[in-house]
Amino acid sequence: MSTFAITNPILSGFSSSEIENVPIDTADKIELSEEEDKRTFHNTDAAYVLPNDNTEHQRLELQHKLLWQLMDNKVFHSPLHKDTMRKILDIGCGTGAVTHEMASTFPDAQVFGVDLSPVPHVRQKLPNISYLLALKDVDLYCGVHIASLFAEAGLTDIRVTRYLVPYSRWEGLTREEKEMADYLETVVRDIIPIAIRKAGENAGPEYGREVDEAVTDARKYLEAYDGGRDFLWLYVVCGRKPE
Ligand SMILES: C[S@@+](CC[C@H](N)C(=O)[O-])C[C@H]1O[C@@H](n2cnc3c(N)ncnc32)[C@H](O)[C@@H]1O
């Protein structure tokens, strides 16, 4: 997972239409067969397999708070100036938590939040925010590549900050890292079977049996899993357009 700020984005390439915030319960619904997995998903061809419902929105809000703590109570890592910020693009804006913070910090900038489903009404939509529906390719390992993509695109003054995101508690972690570990331990157990089932559904009905087996295997594995000392890196990459 990565967060990054892009100034002066070129938005004309988006095959998207501007949308207003809509109540959560009007989102498109795809019902899954298993009682426990009756969740709703983005109604797109995107490779992204996590849900888009109220439960997911609550998860994203909690995750945002924990990430914010993990990054020393700051979201912006670039030296951004109020007077020069004109356009801001938040790709994969989820519930709009970061979009909102950008829009309130930079009231003179136009802020565009892009996601697969409409952004829910969890907070006031500031007048300088536009939410867009868009489908772009997803690269789950993009964090590792962003710095070189920035360099290829001609950005300069590229800076990378990495934060440790642990899957379980171990000695020596900070309070913020431990809180994130507690959250992830629960989330991973809940969400992996849901994501496997959704990915299987996307692959086609002929994979039904394999999907059931994969879900059963994953549940067994996760029940026995003690987290070890596994972790992922959260990448924050900043770059500057040449003058
Ligand atoms: C982990 S959430 C991050 C939410 C938000 N940025 C935050 O900090 O709370 C990832 C978001 O990316 C969106 N997403 C995934 N694939 C996408 C794609 N191809 N195009 C646009 N948004 C996408 C998901 O719908 C989800 O809301």
Angle formed at CA 174 by CA 69 and CA 68, multiple of 5 degrees: 10
Distance of CA 87 to the CA centre of its chain: 20
Q: In this structure, what token pair is assigned to residue 215?
A: 């879900």
Q: In this structure, what token pair is assigned to residue 182?
A: 């507690």
State residue 8's pLDDT score: 24
Helix/strand number for the chain, H first, E second: 5, 7
Residue with CA closest to ligand 1 atom 21:
115
Q: Whole-prediction pTM value?
A: 0.82
SS3 133: strand
% of the chain with per-residue pLDDT over 70: 84
Q: Chain-wide mean pLDDT for the chain?
A: 83
Pocket test for ligand 1, best of 116, 119, 183, 184 (most atoms within 8 A of CB): 116
pLDDT (tens digit, 9 = 90+) per residue, 113-131?
Answer: 999 999 999 999 999 999 9
Pocket test for ligand 1, best of 60, 89, 112, 180 (most atoms within 8 A of CB): 60
Instruction: Note the helical H segments in 126-236.
Output: 142-152, 175-203, 208-224
Gap between the Cα atoms of 15 and 136, Å rounded: 9
State residue 38's pLDDT score: 75
Q: Band the pLDDT of 37: cuts 50, 70, 90.
A: low
- Kindly give the distance from the C-alpha atom of residue 115 to the centroid of ligand 1, in angstroms, as a whole number: 6
Q: In this structure, what token pair is assigned to residue 9?
A: 């984005």
Gap between the Cα atoms of 183 and 236, Å rounded: 21
Ligand 1: list residues with CB < 6 Å: 1, 42, 46, 48, 60, 64, 92-94, 97-98, 114-116, 134-136, 138
Q: If you average pLDDT over residues 132-155, what whole number do you get?
A: 88
